[in-house]
Amino acid sequence: MVERYLDHVRVERRMSVHTEAGYRRDLAKLARFCSGIDINDWGHISPHCARRFASELRRQGLSSRSIQRALSASRGFFRYLLRNKLVKTNPFSVTSAPKSDKRLPKTLSVDQVNLLVAVRENEPLAIRDRAMMELFYSSGLRLSELVELDLPLLDLRNASARVTGKGNKQREVPVGRYAVEAIRTWLPIRLELAGLDEQALFVTARGSRISTRAVQQRIQYWARKQGLDTAVHPHMLRHSFATHVLESSGELRAVQELLGHANISTTQIYTHLDFQHLARVYDKAHPRAKKGKVV
């Protein structure tokens, strides 16, 4: 039954493979928690059992966000069972999830980004990596969007690319001048490495599409090699892109479109980052903002 539900939401909601994998794990946890009952008869799960499941996840030390996703998966699963008349009620409809801790994403300063992408080596993979990092920061891409970007979807003449984001939604993103130059340098090398049928923009030394894990490892490698004093992951470049564009323009709606956020509430977290930047400037610049002895 779980597989039928996942097949259903994959088609109906265009769920990404990562979200599907998360839902599969969450529903497996629910099945294990309810191992004392016949899990083919989900109607035996009561609201009390649903609340106990949420409590057990918290006891295991899961984050608020992970618990929210598990309850969302369970709630959606029971809605599906209810529509198909396999249960009479949805026990998760009254089970509330803990509120998420609003953690602000970590970002790099402009100087840190410049240091990271200032790769001077001429080895093929170094040229590829510089092009990847330039494109990340230039266009605010998600890791999956960069890995899945195919060569025909890149238009260097018009400095743009068409990427596929969450829910299989496509959007066009601008590609900055430095990213265009870095990609142009990479393309002749890619031609030598990639197989004849390979469409991916970024490939491995063996010529196949690069994996998300490989991208993460390469960015961590360059962060250390370039002397950055902080751990760097691909999404940090996306956060930095959004923060720097918002700081310069103040155009929240434009940043929302560039990032491919469905709701502007998701983008609004960067306004908090922008305020933190302004607060730091104020603390340094305003003569009566500095802490000191009162005389």
Same domain, 116 and 250: yes
User: Would strands 154-155 and 170-174 be described as parallel, antiparallel, or unpaired?
Assistant: unpaired
Task: Kindly state whether residue 90 falls inside one of the protein's structural domains.
Answer: no
User: Would strands 160-164 and 154-155 be described as parallel, antiparallel, or unpaired?
Assistant: antiparallel
Same domain, 184 and 265: yes
Same domain, 191 and 262: yes
C-beta atoms surrounding 18 within 10 Å: 11
User: Which of left, alpha, beta for 21 (phi over 0: left; psi -120 to 50: alpha)?
Assistant: alpha
Burial code of 200-229, b = ≥16 C-beta within 10 A, e = fewer? bbbbeeeeebbeeeebeebbeebbeebebe
Same domain, 186 and 221: yes
Same domain, 134 and 234: yes
Same domain, 142 and 265: yes
First vs last Cα of the chain: how many Å apart?
Answer: 73
Per-residue pLDDT band for 253 (boundaries 50, 70, 90) equals confident
* Integer Cα distance of 266 and 264 in angstroms: 5
With DSSP H G I counted as helix, E B as strand and the rest as coil, what are the percentages for the chain, rounded to 5? 60, 5, 35
Same domain, 79 and 115: no
Which are the catalytic amino acids?
142, 166, 235, 238, 261, 270
- Greater confidence (180 vs 89) lies with 180
Phi and psi torsions of 2, nearest 5°: -60, -40
Q: What CATH number is associated with residue 67?
A: 1.10.150
Domain count, the chain: 2
- Greater confidence (66 vs 203) lies with 203
Q: How many residues are recorded in the chain? A: 295
pLDDT digits (tens, 9 = 90+) for 42-91: 777 888 888 888 888 888 888 888 888 888 888 888 888 888 888 888 88
CB 82 within 8 A of CB 53: no
- What average pLDDT does the segment 265-287 reach? 57
* Integer Cα distance of 71 and 96 in angstroms: 8
pLDDT of residue 39: 47
Same domain, 248 and 146: yes
Predicted TM-score (pTM) of this structure: 0.61
pLDDT of residue 142: 87
Same domain, 135 and 242: yes
Same domain, 79 and 114: no
Lowest mean pLDDT among 78-87, 95-104, 216-225, 237-246: 95-104
Percent of the chain with pLDDT over 70: 80
Task: Kindly state whether residue 250 falls inside one of the protein's structural domains.
Answer: yes
pLDDT digits (tens, 9 = 90+) for 142-151: 899 999 999 9
Highest mean pLDDT: which range of 175-189, 232-246, 259-273: 175-189
Boundaries of domain holding 124: 110-283
* Integer Cα distance of 23 and 70 in angstroms: 7
Same domain, 116 and 220: yes
Task: Kindly state whether residue 89 falls inside one of the protein's structural domains.
Answer: no
